[in-house]
Structure 1
Amino acid sequence: MASKKVITVFGATGAQGGSVARAILESKKFAVRAVTRDVTRPNALELQRLGAEVVKGDLNDKALVDSALKGVYGAFLVTNFWDPLNQDKEVCQGKLVADSAKHLGLKHVVYSGLENVKRLTDGKLEVPHFDSKGEVEEYFWSIGVPMTSVRVAAYFENFLAAWRPVKASDGDYYTLAVPMGDVPMDGISVADIGAAVSSIFNSPEEFLGKAVGLSAEALTIQQYADVLSNVLGKEVRDAKITPEAFEKLGFPAAKEIANMCRFYEMKPDRDVKLTHQLNPKVKSFSQFISENQGAFKGM
Structure 2
Amino acid sequence: MSKLVAIIGATGLQGGSVLKTLYASGKYRIRAITRNPDSDSAKALAEKYPGIELAQADLDDLVSLQRAFEDADIVFGMTDWNADIIARNRKGDLDAEYKQGKNIVDAAINASVKTLVLSVLDSLSKQSKGKYSDVTLFETKYKAGEYLLSNSDKIDGFTICLGAYMDNFIRAARISSEDSHTIEFWFPVEPTLRVPLIDTANDTGPVVEYILDHPEECRGKVQDVSCGYYEIQDMINAFTEATGKPARYVKIPYDSIPLPEVVQMYKCIEEFGSFCNRTEFIERNKKMGHKFTTPVEYWKNRGWTGPTQ
Tell me the TM-score normalised to structure 2 length.
Answer: 0.85
Contact 2:17 2:201 survives alignment (8 Å): yes
Aligned to 1:90: 97
* 2:42 aligned residue (41, 44, 49): 44
Deviation (angstroms), 1:256: 4.1
Contact 1:37 1:58 survives alignment (8 Å): yes
Secondary structure of 1:294's match? coil
* 1:219 aligned residue (215, 220, 230): 230
Corresponding pairs, count: 292
User: Are 1:177 and 2:186 counterparts?
Assistant: yes
Aligned to 2:53: 53
Aligned to 1:103: 110
Which has the larger displacement, 31-40 or 251-260? 251-260
Secondary structure of 1:132's match? helix
User: Within 2, Cα distance between the matches of 1:283 and 1:82?
Assistant: 26
Q: 1:166 to 1:53 in 2, by over 3 A?
A: same
Which has the larger displacement, 262-271 or 93-102? 262-271
Contact 1:151 1:212 survives alignment (8 Å): yes
Secondary structure of 1:296's match? coil
User: Within 2, Cα distance between the matches of 1:177 and 1:207?
Assistant: 37
Aligned to 2:176: 167
Q: For 1:15-164, list aligned pairs within 5 A.
A: 15-49=13-47, 50=49, 51-83=51-83, 84-85=85-86, 86=89, 87-125=94-132, 126-144=134-152, 145-161=155-171, 163-164=172-173
User: Are 1:247 and 2:254 counterparts?
Assistant: yes
Secondary structure of 1:278's match? coil
1:255-295 deviation digits (Å, cap 9, x = unpaired): 24423533663552252342354361321110110122335
User: Within 2, Cα distance between the matches of 1:77 and 1:190?
Assistant: 15
User: Are 1:261 and 2:272 counterparts?
Assistant: no
Contact 1:225 1:236 survives alignment (8 Å): yes
User: Within 1, Cα distance between the matches of 2:259 and 2:289?
Assistant: 35
Secondary structure of 2:184's match? strand
User: Within 1, Cα distance between the matches of 2:269 and 2:178?
Assistant: 25
User: Within 2, Cα distance between the matches of 1:166 and 1:17?
Assistant: 32
Contact 2:63 2:107 survives alignment (8 Å): no
Q: 1:258 to 1:183 in 2, by over 3 A?
A: closer
* 1:187 aligned residue (193, 197, 201): 197
User: Within 2, Cα distance between the matches of 1:14 and 1:142?
Assistant: 28
1:100-153 deviation digits (Å, cap 9, x = unpaired): 223333221111111011133232013221111011111111122311111011
Which has the larger displacement, 246-255 or 111-120? 246-255
Secondary structure of 1:8's match? strand
Contact 2:121 2:139 survives alignment (8 Å): yes
User: Within 2, Cα distance between the matches of 1:67 and 1:95?
Assistant: 16
Amino acid at match of 1:157: D
Secondary structure of 1:177's match? strand
Contact 1:196 1:279 survives alignment (8 Å): no
Aligned to 2:210: 199
User: Are 1:289 and 2:299 counterparts?
Assistant: yes
Deviation (angstroms), 1:250: 3.8
Amino acid at match of 1:198: E
The percent identity for this pair of structures is 23
Amino acid at match of 1:143: N
Q: 1:196 to 1:92 in 2, by over 3 A?
A: same
Deviation (angstroms), 1:173: 4.5
Which has the larger displacement, 41-50 or 260-269? 260-269
Q: 1:264 to 1:281 in 2, by over 3 A?
A: farther
User: Within 2, Cα distance between the matches of 1:203 and 1:292?
Assistant: 31
Aligned to 1:9: 7
Secondary structure of 2:224's match? strand
Deviation (angstroms), 1:222: 2.0
Deviation (angstroms), 1:166: 4.7
